[in-house]
Each structure stands twice: as C-alpha cells, then as structure tokens.
Amino acid sequence: MAETPSSLPKPLDDSPQSVRYFAPEKLRFWRTPGGVLRLEVEGEFSCVKVVVARAFPLSHSGEYISLRDGNKKELGMLRSLRGASKETHRILTEELDRRYFLPQIERIENIRERFGIAEWDVVTSRGPRAFVTKHLHDSVTEVEPGRYLIKDVDDNRYEVRDLAQVEQTGGRPLSELL
C-alpha cells in the first residue's frame, strides 16, 4: 500500500491535543538497502520514511514512542513495545538506541577544572572516555536527586545514574564541583 495524503492516518479530531495510538501488533517496520526506516500499519497505510522519537526520553524511555513521517509530522504514538513482533521490537530498539546514545559514567578517574573548562577522564558503559565541558554549572544538569546529564563541548551526552554509586578515583569530587 503506497503512501498518499489520503492514506495517512487521521487523528481522532483536529485538536492539537489529539494523539493517535497504534496497536504494536499492527505495525511492521523494515529498512531499505539504503538504511531508511519504513513502516506499514496493517490494513491502513505505509510510510516510506519514518522517524522514531521518545516523548519522555529520561523518565519513560520504553514508553510513548512517537512515529513521524519524513517531514517530521507525527503519525501517532506507541504506548510501549509490548505486543510488538520480535523484528519490530529489535528494529525500534536499535533505532532508539542510535538516536539516544547515552553512555553511563561508571567511574570518574579525574576532573581537572581550569579557567571555566573541565577536563574529564571517565570510564563509561562504552569504555574509557576523555572529554571537555565548559562551565560545569551549564554543562551538568541534575535530572533528579543524584542523577545527572553531562553535555561536552562537542554536544555528546553522558549520564550519571546515581552519583553515590559512581567511584571517583582522582581530582575534586563532582559533588564539590557542582
């Protein structure tokens, strides 16, 4: 079934608050040889380019997944991946992991702060990393007590899930720097 304006899903009404929720078992995703994500909603429509995004990437990362067309117009939402086929689950998990790449800081080996610049040496869930942040108060955000997001000068993001559980082996403790 080809994508045409009349075959795209309609919200329940035209209000901006109206959201269409898809049943995960009705969705089939696949990638073209060029890597473009495609979608077919059983018996309704197909979309030649799909973008997936988390509505709540930090607090509900496995729920409320937005499905958008190539123009970033929302087609609808998935409440969760429960009930999705193994293939759909795999493809969407890969796509979301790629979009929301967020290594977890497991150990802070050193933080050196000079002239408003902090140089970090850390061990993450993806291996050792060295990165630089400007102005710690602008680069480090406390999401909830003890949980931090850190954004480096290259816009890479890192997460400290629980500062009390992160070993710090050198430099001033992060809790003192904040």
**Phi, psi at 69, each rounded to 5°:** -80, 180
Q: Can you give the pLDDT at residue 122?
A: 95
pLDDT band for position 60 (cuts 50, 70, 90) = confident
User: Which amino acid, one-letter code, is at 107?
Assistant: R
Question: Which H or E run contains 90?
Answer: helix 86-99
DSSP class of residue 20?
Answer: P
Q: Can you give the pLDDT at residue 14?
A: 52
pLDDT in tens, 137-162: 889 999 889 999 999 998 889 999 99
The chain-wide mean pLDDT, for the chain, equals 86
Nearest partner of 50 among 42, 59, 41, 62, judged by Cα: 41
CA 115 to CA 101: how far, in whole Å? 29
